[in-house]
Structure 1
Amino acid sequence: MADRAYLTLREGIIGGRYPIGSRMRERELSAELQVSRIPVREAIAQLESEGLVVTQPRRGAVVRQLTLEDIGELFDVRLSLEVLAARLAADRVRAGASTDRLRELMATADRVTRAGDEQAIREANAALHLEIVTLSGNRLLGQTMAPLVGRIRWLFALTSDRDPAVQCREHRELCAAIEAGNPDLAEALAYSHIELGRVPSLTALAGRLPEQ
């Protein structure tokens, strides 16, 4: 029940059902989710550990107020972790690791991009990024990335006005480099893909989020 509550609340935050600054009252959420307050409390604690929720004096748990500084820091961390993941993934493929799952997810991303389904595009892109981390084979890297996945998906949702066709093309090129077992090219393309998203994302969010 705690897992179900966590997933439901996380998707609600990412999708905007629970807007930034809204209170996460245990009693109301337990009634909404039809569970006791204990799994809701556990879910909120997990969301807080992932940076989606904060606890404030006299207000309790609220959906975190993201800032432009937060977004910039998230891009900085992604440049370190996801670029490393791309390089390691290509190394593993060169050593014989299968890319079947990566190819499958890229095909899904292609399909939903052509269909113009915004939510499906966000989910497919997030799954693709996560699979590259998994394909890296580095467990510590995976454990380090896990708490950031929600915030990355939240970023994707907040900046959905970026051109999905451009993102899809960049993903396709990155996946091709990984499948070719070319770590140098995969590293460069991963860096370029993330960094090229920084300015459009910050521009899209300027005026919607505070600076700090």
Structure 2
Amino acid sequence: MTAPASLRDHAYQTLKRRIVEVQLRPGARLVERDLAAELDVSRIPLREALRMLAAEGLVLLVPAKGALVATFSPADVRDLFDIREVLESLAARLAAERATPDTLAPLTHRMAEARTATVSGDLRRIAAANAAFHAEIIAMAANPLLSNVMGPLAARTEWLFRLTASRDPVEQCSEHEELYGHIASGAADEAATSAFAHIAAGRELSITLAEKWSDPDFDPELIARGRRRRRVES
């Protein structure tokens, strides 16, 4: 049986936003009964939403036990940086090679949003704007296979940006400005180099921060089968 898409999508979008914005911490238990009541949906659309979130790496499903917000361990962070350094550098190169006034316009808009968010000092807004800027470069690369590979990582990338909000937003915006300039001028080699350097600059700090928010003794089965239910934050 398949749930109505509107109910499933409501549950999916709400939980996704709460996870990405760290209203729900990595490793937090997701209790179906509580979530279904809070979101005003039945178990069927809720379970479909949880499966969608699991496919994006945001939720961990423990068979016959329950669901948890996925962990984001130092090893997970390291793996994500390994992928991003290579593929986002490629995306920047392709974006620069294919830059035209029309294809550049959406990236120009994203750059303006990132500047405004940085000035605001709103960490949630900064994380969302920075994630959108990176996603736009991938779209601008106009490579469907690259988009298919990177698409499922978009939510985890924004989640990482939110978890590592202590990184200097002004410095990040400056690095985005440099990358944008190379893409806009069609300097493919420089764009690829700039993208790699920008992503690599956040690697060690992100791994260090992950050591603080992750639990080395995390046991998903033990947490998922816990009897105590805790209502999630709104």
Q: Give TM-score, length-normalised by structure 1.
A: 0.94
CA distance in 2, matches of 1:45, 1:143: 19
Which residue matches 2:113?
108
Which residue matches 2:60?
54
Contact 2:22 2:159 in 1 (8 A): no
Query: How far off its partner does 1:56 sit?
Result: 2.0
Please say if 1:171 is aligned against 2:176.
Answer: yes
Contact 2:92 2:192 in 1 (8 A): yes
Which residue matches 1:189?
194
CA distance in 1, matches of 2:191, 2:208: 27
Query: Which ranges of structure 1 fall in alignment gaps of 5 or more residues?
Result: none
Of the candidates 149, 157, 165, which is equivalent to residue 154 of structure 2? 149
Instruction: Report the structure number with the largest CA radius of gyration.
Output: 2
Q: Give TM-score, length-normalised by structure 2.
A: 0.85
Matches within 5 A, 1:1-212: 1-57=7-63, 59-93=65-99, 98-210=103-215
- Deviant stretches of 4+, over 4 Å: none
State the secondary structure of the residue aligned to 2:61: strand
Query: How far off its partner does 1:27 sit?
Result: 2.1
Query: How far off its partner does 1:210 sit?
Result: 4.5
Higher relative contact order (Cα pairs below 8 Å, separated by 6+ residues):
2
Query: How far off its partner does 1:18 sit?
Result: 1.9
Query: How far off its partner does 1:97 sit?
Result: 5.0
Query: How far off its partner does 1:211 sit?
Result: 6.0
Contact 2:77 2:210 in 1 (8 A): no
Query: Which ranges of structure 2 fall in alignment gaps of 5 or more residues?
Result: 1-6, 218-234
Query: How far off its partner does 1:26 sit?
Result: 2.2
CA distance in 2, matches of 1:126, 1:37: 31
Query: How far off its partner does 1:106 sit?
Result: 0.4
Deviations 1:109-128 (A, max 9, x none): 11110111111100100000
Query: How far off its partner does 1:203 sit?
Result: 2.3
Counterpart residue type for residue 171 of structure 1: H
Deviations 1:42-95 (A, max 9, x none): 11001111111112255311111221001000000101211111111111116x
CA distance in 2, matches of 1:211, 1:54: 16
Which residue matches 2:230?
none
Gap change, CA 1:203 and 1:67, over 3 Å in 2: same
Backbone CA RMSD of aligned residues: 1.6
Q: Percent identity?
A: 44
State the secondary structure of the residue aligned to 1:113: helix
